[in-house]
């Protein structure tokens, strides 16, 4: 082998090694972000009535939707990891408001709704894809396709797809769960409410494409709900 070729080959190996090192470093960094995030999520779960099991289930439903949308394995994993942080902003909402049974007045509702903005501000400003998607989800997981959601009353594709995915997932789980203001519905009743509406939840709230996926894959949602039923904390 000529000297030039030998040097060239050595340089290629060096670059390959450096890239591999860089890839590993950034993976480690993403893992560290994920770890920190899970701890933050756990902290907010202490004050919220929503359980660790709810958070796990929402991640799994979100991955089902992403898979049916044809997302890559990496992107499915990303939404799976980002979804648990949707309500992290509740950490800043007063306890008595979070635990309040019955309907909230206008002022209380405004404060409650601010968990979306607070969550987004907690998660903004990093270079991490994970945190960036988590911020997007925290901000938009209560927006509705028809513009009737909050905080910005976005419509249709103005709402990031990650937010639309978690919104549908969170709604399915909320309907299946008992809340201070409602009983738990079974899977069939939940499907009926989401697909036909009940006055409070309307099909027009959901991205039509995601609702079609849900219509076809609803059994997977039921399976996840049954699998992660225990109410243990994260």
* Residue closer to Fe ion, measured from CB, 170 or 207: 170
Closest-CA residue to 167 (of 187, 180, 182, 150): 150
Closest-CA residue to 33 (of 73, 84, 75): 84
CA distances from 102 to 8, 112, 211 (A): 72, 14, 29
Cβ neighbours of residue 225 closer than 8 Å, sequence gap 6 or more? 57, 172, 173, 176, 187
CB of 58 to Fe ion, least distance (A): 6
* Residue closer to Fe ion, measured from CB, 3 or 230: 230
Q: Does 170 bind Fe ion (CB under 5 A)?
A: yes
* Residue closer to Fe ion, measured from CB, 30 or 108: 108
Q: Does 48 bind Fe ion (CB under 5 A)?
A: no
Q: x/- site string to Fe ion, residues 117 to 156, per CB under 5 A? A: ----------------------------------------
Positions in 86-105 near Fe ion (CB under 5 A): 87
In whole angstroms, give the CA distance from residue 223 to residue 57: 10
Contacting range for Fe ion; rule: CB under 5 A; set: 30-38, 61-69, 144-152, 163-171 = 163-171
Q: Is the CB of residue 120 less than 8 Å from the CB of residue 150?
A: no
The active-site residue, picked from 47, 90, 100, 229, is 90
Length of the chain equals 234
CA distances from 137 to 23, 33, 88, 110, 123 (A): 26, 16, 10, 19, 10
CA distances from 49 to 41, 86, 172 (A): 13, 14, 17
Q: x/- site string to Fe ion, residues 60 to 89, per CB under 5 A? A: ---------------------------x--
CB of 141 to Fe ion, least distance (A): 6
CB of 170 to Fe ion, least distance (A): 4
Q: Is 100 an active-site residue? A: no
Q: Which residues are catalytic?
A: 90
Query: Footprint of Fe ion on this chain (CB under 5 A)?
Result: 87, 170
């Amino acid at each position: 082998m000529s000297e030039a070729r030998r040097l060239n080959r050595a340089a290629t190996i060096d670059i390959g090694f450096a890239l591999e090192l860089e890839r590993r470093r950034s993976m480690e960094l993403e893992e560290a972000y994920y770890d920190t995030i899970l701890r933050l999520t756990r902290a907010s779960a202490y004050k919220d009535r929503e359980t660790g099991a709810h958070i796990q289930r929402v991640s799994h439903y979100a991955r089902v939707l992403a898979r049916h949308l044809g997302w890559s394995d990496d992107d499915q994993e990303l939404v799976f990891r980002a979804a648990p942080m949707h309500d992290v902003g509740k950490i800043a909402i007063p306890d008595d408001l979070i635990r309040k049974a019955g309907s909230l007045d206008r002022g209380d509702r405004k404060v409650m709704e601010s968990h979306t903005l607070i969550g987004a501000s907690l998660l903004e400003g990093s270079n991490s894809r994970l945190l960036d998607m988590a911020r997007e989800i925290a901000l938009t997981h209560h927006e509705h396709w028809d513009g009737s959601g909050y905080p910005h009353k976005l419509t249709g594709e103005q709402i990031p797809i990650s937010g639309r995915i978690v919104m549908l997932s969170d709604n399915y789980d909320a309907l299946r769960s008992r809340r201070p203001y409602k009983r738990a519905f079974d899977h069939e009743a939940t499907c009926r409410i989401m697909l036909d509406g009940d006055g409070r939840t309307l099909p027009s709230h959901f991205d039509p494409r995601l609702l079609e996926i849900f219509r076809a894959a609803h059994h997977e949602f039921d399976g996840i709900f049954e699998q992660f039923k225990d109410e243990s904390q994260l």
